[in-house]
Amino acid sequence: MPVVGTQKREEDFFFAWSSAFKQQSAKDVPMANTDLDILLSLVQSTKPQKDRQTEELYDCDRVHFRKTYINSELLRWNFTIQPSSRLFAGFMALARGGITSYSGTATNEVKTLTTDATGGYFTLEMTFEGRVGISEKIYYNDTAATIKEKLERMIRPIEAGDITSVTGTLATSLVITFGGKLAATNLPDWVIDNTNLTGGSATVTQGTTTQGASKKLTITRSSTSPMALVSFILGYRGDTATFRKYYNQAINKIVLTIEKGEISTMEIELVGSTRYTEEPTFTIPDCVVYDPIRNNDTRFEVDSNWITGETRRVVRTLDNQMATDKEAFPFDAIYMQKFLRGRRPVESLAFAVDGCETDDVAVWAETFTHKPLNIYFGSPSNRAVDIFPNVELSEGSPPVEYAQSTGLSYLNVNGKPAKDATLGTYSKLEYYENSSTPFLGT
């Protein structure tokens, strides 16, 4: 006998989420449809796993005399998305629950250059976050447009689009305003090579008329156990009978993976109630694809020292170890009532960077050294910074690998965060963006 049904294509499936990472105002109060205003770009999704606790009643002859009764049940969802720094920070905020308001004001840096030289050229060097860039020869009478082009060809740390404008002249005052990936960023002074200038004082004077500054959110683990509850809508385009809003959901686990030569991914596990409402009138929002976290925008700082080797791989894990056993369930309803963080959350990381056995990071890993470590995800103007005050570094397996294509070796390192006395947890996250919308609103 043939099976009759409607075939649904995977690309017609959608996942609607809150762009501001809002949470429910209370348990059993679904979020408004208007708050579920973006579609997340799914790399992969799996059918939810249903966990049930049941009871079976037997008579004296060990025979069932009543059908199985469901005491409680919950769903485990698993989604994989392409993460931007904002998506990473937003899901981490929901998973951790402790967040400040934005602080600071986003301000673009403005620098000046002046010279009274009458001949020759000079070069500018900038070292930023361990990366060094040197400009082409800048002649004493180059125009503002020419100097802008030369500075943006430094590649590191300045790329095309990172300078908003260059105005004036070197003879009076050349004004350089930064933007792009270096917007709202505090930049170091230039190192100026005046050797090949002639006439006048044969020097270039620099100044900073406006210091770059950022706005930031700080995300920490909440001191209370209850989790932030969220809602989302799933369905198939064109089939309004399948539009379902699931509510009373919480973020249990996040695994961020960054691999050289591949688009980064983030696996998210949500744990929550089986409850949902049907939403046949829901208007499917536009798909929003954020610029993903890229390998070349991922930076490591260990004990205030930048790792200058190229990042090869990062695997960052947060597991709340949510309580989902019988202690988390009541006996008067089948729906999960408590969404609590586990007492022993798991945080771990593993990374690979170019280097060799004599590099500091290799020595630290070999001796199981404890160090403060920061991981920078994204460009300076829009990034998430994972801050670990105390991490035990150890060798990965194998400790050193060899890249045939480049002839470079790279180090595999594992990091085991230790609880910090000040934070009261393993780590915190800082998120930098010129935004006025805080996470975890209702």
- Per-residue confidence (pLDDT) for residue 309, from 0 to 100: 85
Residues of 102-113 as b/e, b for ≥16 C-beta within 10 angstroms? beeebbbbbbbb
What pLDDT digit, counting tens, does each position of 406-421 carry?
Answer: 778 999 999 999 988 8
Supply the pTM of this predicted model.
0.91
Q: Which residues of the chain have pLDDT under 50?
A: 1, 3, 331
- Per-residue confidence (pLDDT) for residue 67, from 0 to 100: 65
- Per-residue confidence (pLDDT) for residue 337, from 0 to 100: 63
Please give the backbone phi and psi of residue 363, each rounded to the nearest 5 degrees, phi first. Answer: -65, -40
Q: Which residue has the tokens 């009871």?
A: 55
331: its two tokens: 């006996």
Q: Which residues contact 2 (CB under 8 A, 6 or more apart)?
A: none
> Which alpha helices (DSSP H) does 31-137 contain, by range?
85-96
For residue 285, give the nearest of 16, 74, 103 by alpha carbon. 16
d(CA 164, CA 344): 47
d(CA 267, CA 317): 9
- Per-residue confidence (pLDDT) for residue 52, from 0 to 100: 73
d(CA 403, CA 115): 46
8 A C-beta contact, residue 227 and residue 345:
no
What pLDDT digit, counting tens, does each position of 352-376 carry?
Answer: 999 888 889 999 999 999 999 999 9
